[in-house]
Amino acid sequence: MVALVTGASRGIGKVIALELASLGYDLALVARDAAALAEVIAALPESCGNAVAIPADLAQEETYESVVGECVAQLGGLDVLVNCAGLSQAGPFEDVTPEQWDRIFAVNAKAPFFISRAALPYLKESEKPIVINIASVVGFKGYIHQSAYASSKHALTGFTKVFAKEVQPFGIRVHLISPGGVATEMVKQMRPDIQPDELIQPEEIAEIVRFLVTKKGQGTIDQFYIRRYTGLAFD
């Protein structure tokens, strides 16, 4: 089984890659930082199948087809797609430039949309096809000074809901994971007000991915909304 993980050079995507490697998946790892991807591959457990790095800037739309094409050319197919790459923004609404807004939308919303489209023919051929989109709690709510980021995550959330319905006839399961603050580089920039020991650990998101890809039976789960334990319940 082959999994393609975007944003695999660090943070949540890296830990998801390690988790899928422990389950024996062949891995295609996508991010811009080729050296960091090589380090992740070097750290993969022996249980992992083949692993390839596919360096790409997902703000560039020509990469959407090419990352999937390269994954299939090198690993022979695609069974699990994890759209995890993301770009944050912190600051007042009036400081956001059109260029910044475009870049955030390209990486957070456009890339998952068109990578999913490019992956569709291969997912249709898979015995257990799964797409997991990593959005955010700000795909539901609004945090001050995250206007462009929250807009892009609302877009990803909306796409995921429609995509899940359109591909259900092909047996493709689509899952949305919407985390609150997770202990990565990104959160240091966006939420310096949150104490590090109050943050969700990336491994907790990877646990959800493990659950989803190993789940058997007739039940399925459309979305996980996971918040910090120190935050407010049902908020």
Q: Which is nearer to ligand NAP, 126 or 163 (CB)?
A: 163
Least separation in angstroms between CB 38 and ligand NAP: 11
Q: Which is nearer to ligand NAP, 129 or 179 (CB)?
A: 179
Binding site for ligand NAP (CB under 6 A): 7-13, 31-33, 36, 56-59, 84-87, 107, 134, 136, 179, 181-182, 184-187
Closest CA to 8 of 32, 24, 22: 32
Residue 2 tokens, joined: 């082959």
Q: Which of 25, 64, 122, 153 is catalytic?
A: 153
Least separation in angstroms between CB 113 and ligand NAP: 14
From residue 53, give the alpha-carbon distance in Å to each of 38, 64, 183. 7, 15, 24
Q: Which residue has the tokens 């389950």?
A: 23
Least separation in angstroms between CB 140 and ligand NAP: 11
Q: How many helices (H) and strands (E) does the chain have?
A: 8, 7
- Is residue 56 within 8 A of residue 71, CB to CB? The reply is no
Q: Which is nearer to ligand NAP, 2 or 134 (CB)?
A: 134
Give CA–CA dist 109/33, Å, rounded: 20
Burial (CB count within 10 angstroms: exposed 0-12, middle 13-18, buried 19+), residue 46: exposed
Strands 51-55 and 80-83: unpaired
What's at 20, amino acid-wise? Answer: L
Q: Which is nearer to ligand NAP, 27 or 126 (CB)?
A: 27
Q: Which is nearer to ligand NAP, 129 or 202 (CB)?
A: 202
Q: Which of 149, 216, 225, 229 is catalytic?
A: 149
Least separation in angstroms between CB 10 and ligand NAP: 5
Least separation in angstroms between CB 214 and ligand NAP: 21
Residue 117, Cβ neighbours under 10 Å: how many? 13
Q: 201: which DSSP letter?
A: P
- Is residue 59 within 8 A of residue 103, CB to CB? The reply is yes
Give CA–CA dist 9/97, Å, rounded: 27
- Indicate if 153 belongs to the active site: yes
Active-site residue numbers? 149, 153
